[in-house]
């Protein structure tokens, strides 16, 4: 059984930083991992993706230059994905999720096309 376990999140003032972590177990063949967020009353949006094989990344315009998706450069690092969030803004307040899939074309996948999801963690940014 595939599980994605998230850690990190919390509350921070505008301009601050947080790092989210997501560790997968039960299956290690995911081609693509991503980070998503959903604010109250809004649809879940993809904010960052990473293609396992090449390490290539893609970002939503709203977070480009502020957020970084990455994997640790260690053995079995492909089971873990991070989201480093810098220069946080109140508009970044949302529930954040990690997800993974074995589908190809990582950087074009929508949220609905990801198969396995973490439990979610709240990020609150105060002004």
Helix (H, G, I), strand (E, B) or coil at 90: helix
pLDDT at 69: 98
pLDDT at 98: 97
pLDDT at 74: 81
Helix (H, G, I), strand (E, B) or coil at 111: helix
Residues 73-85 have a mean pLDDT of 88
- Residue 81: how many other CB atoms lie within 10 Å: 29
- Residue 115: how many other CB atoms lie within 10 Å: 13
User: Where does the pLDDT of residue 27 fall: very low under 50, low under 70, confident under 90, or very high at 90 and above?
Assistant: confident
Which of 33, 7, 3 has the alpha carbon at shortest distance from 21?
7
Distance (Å, whole) CA 80 – CA 125: 25
Residue 84: burial class (beta carbons within 10 Å; 0-12, 13-18, 19+):
middle
Residues 31-35 have a mean pLDDT of 93
Does pLDDT of 53 surpass 90? no
């Amino acid at each position: 059984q595939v599980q994605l376990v998230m850690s990190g999140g919390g509350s921070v003032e505008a301009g601050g930083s947080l790092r989210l972590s997501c560790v997968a177990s039960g299956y290690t063949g995911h081609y693509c991992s991503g980070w998503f967020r959903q604010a109250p009353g809004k649809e879940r949006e993809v904010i960052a993706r990473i293609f396992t094989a090449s390490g290539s990344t893609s970002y939503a315009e709203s977070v480009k230059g502020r957020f970084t998706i990455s994997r640790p450069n260690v053995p079995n690092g492909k089971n873990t994905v991070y989201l480093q969030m810098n220069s946080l803004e109140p508009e970044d307040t949302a529930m954040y999720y990690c997800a993974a899939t074995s589908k190809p074309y990582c950087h074009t996948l929508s949220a609905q096309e990801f198969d396995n999801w973490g439990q979610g963690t709240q990020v609150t940014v105060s002004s």
